[in-house]
Amino acid sequence: MVVEEEESFPEQSDANASYLRAARAGHLEKALDYIKNGVDINICNQNGLNALHLASKEGHVEVVSELLQREANVDAATKKGNTALHIASLAGQAEVVKVLVTNGANVNAQSQNGFTPLYMAAQENHLEVVKFLLDNGASQSLATEDGFTPLAVALQQGHDQVVSLLLENDTKGKVRLPALHIAARKDDTKAAALLLQNDNNADVESKSGFTPLHIAAHYGNINVATLLLNRAAAVDFTARNDITPLHVASKRGNANMVKLLLDRGAKIDAKTR
């Protein structure tokens, strides 16, 4: 038995490799033949890439669809934690992305480094993919282990249309806020820092007269508040009715924020109208 297993193993190994090559090349019938002859539909190469991953990267919609119909694991991950949806999003394969999501792919799956499909699409300026993922529940708040959100990476790369789409989606059905206010609300220090590189005004006002520091104070977002103060945000900036960030933080009961603002010189006796 041992001899037989040793002799048959190279054949099976060759079949596995040939199956993966067929999927990558978009040769549907060849790939299906290998499956019919016993090759595991989810078999991987040394990097953890399976047929679904390879076909997704190359945009072979028909192969992807057939593999999923035969119950290929839609959320199987590579050694780096990337699913087929990560791979298709990075490659800008919009039609494949749609098929994967329709078949239950996790739109908010994170790789080992925290990358989501939305992050990858935003990084590579794949506008159609970004829009589809947002429309299907992708979260903008999930950040990489380095703290980068999809908005932050799109800002860094200068992908203006993707940035606009992300900002528009974030405020859908709400009062439109400037980008820096949105970063403050999400405690997204990477995005805020990038925005401040392009515009040094840390006290940009919303239509209602509130600054990003007011927003950070409201949500108790210490990290972005510290960044704003370090970039010369006015600690006692008065919005409508003379409301300061300290008033906002106090009303919300954000003790750590109150301490930060007082430590940075906020007037403890400032009065509203």
CATH fold for domain 176-273:
1.25.40
CATH superfamily entry for domain 1-106: Ankyrin repeat-containing domain (1.25.40.20)
**Residue 129 CA: distances (Å) to CA of 81, 88, 246:** 20, 9, 41
CATH superfamily entry for domain 110-170: Ankyrin repeat-containing domain (1.25.40.20)
Domain boundaries, the chain: 1-106, 110-170, 176-273
Strand partners, 52: none
pTM value? 0.77
Residue 235 phi/psi, 5-degree rounding, is -65, -25
Strand partners, 44: 50
DSSP sequence for 42-71 = T-B-TTS-BHHHHHHHHT-HHHHHHHHHTT
pLDDT one digit per residue (tens) for the chain, 273 residues: 222 233 332 345 789 999 999 999 999 999 999 999 999 999 999 899 999 999 999 999 999 999 999 999 999 999 999 999 999 999 999 999 999 999 999 999 999 999 999 999 999 999 999 999 999 999 998 989 988 899 889 988 889 899 889 988 876 655 567 889 999 999 999 999 999 987 779 999 887 788 999 999 989 999 999 999 999 999 999 987 788 999 989 988 989 999 999 999 989 887 776
DSSP H/E element including 270: none
Is 1-106's fold the same as 110-170's?
yes
